Amino acid sequence: MDREFARLLDRLPEFQAGARELSEILLTNLVMISEIPAPTFGEHRRMQFLLDRFNEYELQNCSTDEAGNALGILPGRSGEQNILVVGHMDTVFPEKVDHTVSIEPGAVTGAGIGDDSLGLAALVTLPQMLSHLGIELNANLIFMGSARSLGRGDIEGIRFFLDNRNVPISSGICVEGVKLGRLSYASIGMLRGEIHYRVPEEYDWTRFGAGGAIVNMNDVINRILEIPLPRRPRTSIVLNSVEAGASFNTIPRQATLQFEIRSESGELVNRLGDQISDICAETSSQTGAEVEFNVLARRQPGGIGFSHPLAAHARSIIKALGVNPRISPSTSELSAFIDQKIPAVTIGLTQGEHHNEVNERLDIEPVYLGIAQLVGLLVAIDEGYADGSERLA
């Protein structure tokens, strides 16, 4: 291993200790961010909070854009490169859900804290963390709370920024709350779809096969599950949610199924999407109901390879912290970097349970390791380890 990089790994305990020293600030940011509801397309208040924090740290160009992202720049010594650090602002929880967070020694509990309030808290604490650790990067650090990431948002915020940026981005880090050890540097092909089954008002309930929206949606699901999937390239169809019916004594007229097709092959994703679309058309003709198939998001497979310097050094940093790296593909913000051929990784910060439930609980202690990992990775990228151009001692 490069001696300079080994020296950087030696500094990780120092980064961890620094993170612990700023734990109150980090926890407070976590609470204050989490308690602002931010359903996808409703991130405005959270964005404002992030901008207030960026302004307080006197970051430059603190601003929002047409997509509703929150942005700020910490200028580097030379400013020759720009590193983009991203956390997504939206959560899966609607406004009316109780967003209250509770803190006890060792754990924090609340809706959306892991996905991705902790990532955002790390983001807004990072300028102070770097200053506290006496780290001044050469590269400019661009902080971004990205809007419209999840579900129908289809990572629109980061896509908008990367499509319209007027500065080159050399590399990116996507920060997620959970789980520590998670490392993604490639995206799989993905199609996120929704099938909406609607029985027309004038429907003849005496016709053959008339069974209401739930029965017929069940038929659609069975047919989707009958589609043969290859072992290689690895492929899956995940049924994510079903909504149908109203009550007893009422024939269900509507049903909605949300699903994702995931595959290492982009072509196979498209083919499976076509097959599901055909199933919908056939069901519609058989039952006389309207069966609508909508594609909400698509991702192309891609990313950096296992041996890319960024991936390799990220693994080394995680291992040096005593954590076992778990490599998994991602379909989140990372995909937008991949589409633009920008080397990037997604990392997690801590352990937790009840992920994406209202009572999600995060362990506090591992967060310090997670922050040390983030700082270590930033320094590594800054020193050229992301592209193999590391400065010689």
Partner 1 sequence: MDLNAWLKSNTFHHTAFRDLRELVEAKERAGLTISLCIPTLNEEKTIGKEVVIFRSELMQRYPLIDEIAIIDSGSTDKTLEIAANFGADTYLASDILPDLEQKRGKGENLWKAIYQLKGDIIVYIDADIKNIHPRFVYGLVGPLIQRPEIQYVKAFYDRPLAFSQGIRPSGGGRVTEILIRPLFSLFFPELTAIIQPLSGEYAVRREVLERIPFPIGYGVETSHLIDVYTLYDMNAFAQTDLDQRVHRNQPTRSLGKMAFGILQTFLSRAEKLGVIGELPDTSTILRQFQVQDQTFETVEYSIVEEERPPMETIEAYQQLRRQHESR
Among 4, 9, 11, 25, binds partner 1 (CB under 8 A): 25
Q: Judged by CB under 8 A, which stretch of 28-36, 37-45, 258-266, 377-385 contacts partner 1?
A: 28-36
Q: In the range 93-112, which residues lie near partner 1 by CB under 8 A?
A: 100-105
Instruction: Give the nearest distance from C-beta 28 to partner 1 in angstroms.
Output: 4
Min dist. Cβ of residue 151 to partner 1 (A): 26
Q: Are 179 and 325 contacting, i.e. CB atoms less than 8 angstroms apart?
A: no
Task: State the Cα–Cα distance between residues 46 and 90, nearest whole angstrom.
Answer: 9
In the bound complex, what is the minimum distance in angstroms from residue 136's beta carbon to partner 1? 22
Residue selected from 12, 19, 31, 349 as contacting partner 1 according to rule CB under 8 A: 31
Least Å distance between CB 100 and partner 1?
5
Of 5, 18, 35, 335, the one binding partner 1 by CB under 8 A: 35
Nearer to partner 1, 103 or 229 (CB): 103
> By CB under 8 A, which span of 30-38, 76-84, 151-159, 340-348 interacts with partner 1?
30-38
Q: Considering only residues 6, 7, 13, 28, which one is a binding residue for partner 1 as defined by CB under 8 A?
A: 28
Candidates 29-37, 236-244, 302-310, 375-383: pick the segment binding partner 1 (CB under 8 A). Answer: 29-37
Q: Is 27 in the site for partner 1 (CB under 8 A)?
A: yes
Return residues touching partner 1 (CB under 8 A).
Answer: 24-25, 27-28, 31-32, 35, 56, 100-105
